[in-house]
Structure 1
Amino acid sequence: MKLLVISDIHGNMEALNAVMEVRHDEVICLGDIVDYGASPGECIDLLERQGIPMVMGNHDNAVAFRMDCGCGYRYKHLSQSTREYTWKVLSDRQLEFLRKLPFSLTRMEKGVKLYFTHGSPLSFYDYIRPDTPEELIRGYIKGLDADFIFVGHSHTPFVRKVGDVTLVNPGSVGQPRDGDTRASCAVFDTETMQAEIIRVGYDMETARDRIRKNMPHADELISILERGN
C-alpha cells in the first residue's frame, strides 16, 4: 500500500490539488491546513470530504482557539495578519472541524508501528529538522513506542534514522522553505517500509493571484512562494 503523507498545506489549494495527484492508496495529513494561503476553507473541505485522517498543527490550533501560533519571529507577523483573513472566510463548521483535530494518530502496518504528529511527540510547537541534534531528538521521542515517526512543522523534508526509529518529514505542501518551490510530500510504502520524498509542480500563478486579490502582505507572501523559503 502507498500511504501519501502531507503536511503544512497553509491554504494553498493549488498545491494541495497537485500532491493529491501523486499515486497513492491512502492519505494522512500532519496538520497546518490554514494560515498564509488564500484558500483555507477549500482545503479543509477537500480533506474532510475525502475522509482523510489529520492531526492538529500549531496554526490550526491558533485559528481554532484564537491563540498565538508559537511560530518563529521571521513569519509571525504574516501568521497574525493572515489569521484575521482566515477567521473571516472560514465557516463555524470549518472552525469546529479544526477544534476537533487530534494531537496524534497511530496505526500498525504488518507489525510495524507508525506514529503521526505535527511537531514532535511532546508538542506541536517543536521543530525537528534535518540538522536537529540527535540528542535533542532522543529527548523528544523518549518512551514513545513507534518504529516510524512522521512529523511536519519545519517545512523541510527529510528521512532520518535515530537509533531504531525512522523519522520522516514530508515537507510543506503549500509553503516550502527548503529552497525548492515545488509542493512537497512523502509516500510511505507499507510493503517495503520505505519512505520517499516527492516534489510536485503546481499552478503557482493561480495561487499568487488568489493571494494578491484577497490577502494582506500579498507581496511578501508571494515572494516566499517564489523563493521557496
Structure 2
Amino acid sequence: MKSIQVAIISDIHGNLTALEHVLADICQKGIHQIYCLGDLVDFAPWGDEVISLFKQRGIPCLLGNHDERIAFDYPVVPLTHHDAVETANRDIAIAFSKRTISPENKLWLSNLPFELSLTFKVEGIFKRVLLVHATPASNEEYLFEEDDKGTVLSELARRGMDVLVMGHTHHSYIQQFSEALLVNCGSVGRSKEADRKATYTILTISADSIMAEIQKVEYPIHAVADAIYNSEIPDFYADFLLKS
C-alpha cells in the first residue's frame, strides 16, 4: 500500500547541534518532507545559525512565540509557571537573542506563517493535517496530554482536519480520538522529558490511516552544555540540559 512519510520538528531553541543530529536522522530514514513548528531561538548560543540553516535548507517553518518576540522586539512577559530564578535567567537569555540575531534573520522570522494546512492525496483519498506551534487559537497556549481536548477537537472537526500536530510544551505525546489524531512532536533542542534527547515525529500517511511515531535522537548534550557555560547565556540553561 502506498504511503507518504513526513517529519515534523519543533522547538529548536538555538540548539544547532541537536538540530543537525535530527536532520541527519531524518535523512538516514529517507524522509524528504520536513516541517518545523517554530521556536527556533533562545536558550542556546546558535539562534542566528539555526535560522540561517532553515533558510538554506528551505524547510517550511511556523512562527513560534519565541520567534515572534525576537522578530518584533516584544517585551518579555513573566510566566506564572516560572519562579523568580527562571524568570531572571529567561530575561537574560532572550536579551542575548535580541542582541545577536541579525536584522535579516529577524525579518525572515517576522514573515513566518502562524499555521500550515497540508492536504495529501493517497490512492485517491484526501488526508488533511494541521500544523500549529501550540494550538489553533494561540502560539502561547499550553495543551498537555492530560488536558481536555474538547475545544480543539471541535475546531478540527469544523475544519475537516484528520490530524493536528503541535509543539510548544516540550513534552511529546500521541492521542487518537474519534474526531482526529492529536500529536505533540516534542522538542529538538530543549526537551523537558526525562532523557532530554532531541525529539521529533514521523507521520506515515496512507489511504486508510495516519500513523504517528515519536523519534528520539541522541546528541552530544554535554558539548552543548559546555557551549552555553562559555557563552553569555545563563548557566541555568546548561544545567537544565544535564538534568537527565
TM-score category of the 2 structures, normalised to the smaller one: over 0.9
Deviation at 1:10, TM superposition (A): 0.2
The secondary structure found in structure 2 opposite 1:114 is strand
Instruction: Answer yes or no: is 1:3 the counterpart of 2:18.
Output: no
Letter of the 1:227 counterpart: K
> Partners in 1 of 2:80 and 2:170 — Cα distance?
12
Max radius of gyration: which structure?
2
Other-structure match for 2:158: 143
Q: Give 1:76 deviation, angstroms.
A: 3.9
Separation of aligned partners in 1, 2:137 and 2:149: 16
Are the structure 2 counterparts of residues 54 and 72 from structure 1 closer, same or farther at C-alpha, using a change threshold of 3 Å? farther
Q: Please say if residues 35 and 59 of structure 2, whose CA atoms lie closer than 8 Å, have aligned partners that are also in contact.
A: yes
Alignment of 1:79-98 (within 5 A): 79-98=90-109
Q: What is the aligned partner in structure 2 of residue 199 from structure 1?
A: 216
2:73: which partner in 1? 66
AA partner of residue 90 (structure 2): S
Q: Residue 190 of structure 1 aligns to a residue in which SS?
A: strand
CA–CA separation in structure 1 for the residues paired with 2:33 and 2:80 = 32
Q: Encode CA deviations 1:46-71: one digit per residue, 9 max, x unaligned.
A: 11111101101010011111224665
- Measured in 2, the distance between the counterparts of 1:93 and 1:35 equals 17
2 CA distance for matches of 1:72 and 1:176? Answer: 20
TM-score using structure 1 length: 0.92
How far, CA to CA, are the matches of 1:144 and 1:81 in structure 2? 40
Structure 2 counterpart of 1:15: 18
8 A Cα contact 1:34 1:60, kept in partner: yes
Where does structure 1 lack aligned partners over 5 or more consecutive residues? none
CA apart distance, 1:137: 3.8
Note closer, same or farther for the CA distance 1:129–1:177 as it changes in structure 2 (3 Å cut): same
List alignment gaps of at least 5 residues for structure 2: none
Q: 1:216 aligns with which of 233, 236, 240?
A: 233
Structure-1 separation of matches of 2:187 and 2:80: 16
Partners of 2:45 and 2:233 within 8 A in 1: no
Distance in 2 between residues matched to 1:65 and 1:188, nearest whole Å: 32
Whole-angstrom CA distance in 1 between matches of 2:151 and 2:232:
37
- Shifted more, 140-149 versus 105-114: the winner is 140-149
Over aligned residue pairs, what C-alpha RMSD do you find? Answer: 1.8
Q: CA deviation at 1:139?
A: 6.0
Q: What is the identity, as a one-letter code, of the residue corresponding to 2:238?
A: I
Find the counterpart in structure 1 of residue 42 from structure 2: 35
Contact 1:128 1:137 in 2 (8 A): no
Distance 1:76 1:116 in 2: 29
1:153 maps to which residue? 168
Give the Å deviation of 1:185.
0.4
Matched, 1:227 2:243: yes
| Alpha-carbon distance in structure 2 between the residues aligned to 1:59 and 1:142 | 29
> For 1:199 and 1:137, how far apart are their aligned partners in 2?
27
Q: How far did 1:93 drift?
A: 0.5
Name the stretch that deviates more: 137-146 or 160-169: 137-146
Q: Counterpart amino acid of 1:197?
A: I
CA distance in 2, matches of 1:66, 1:117: 22
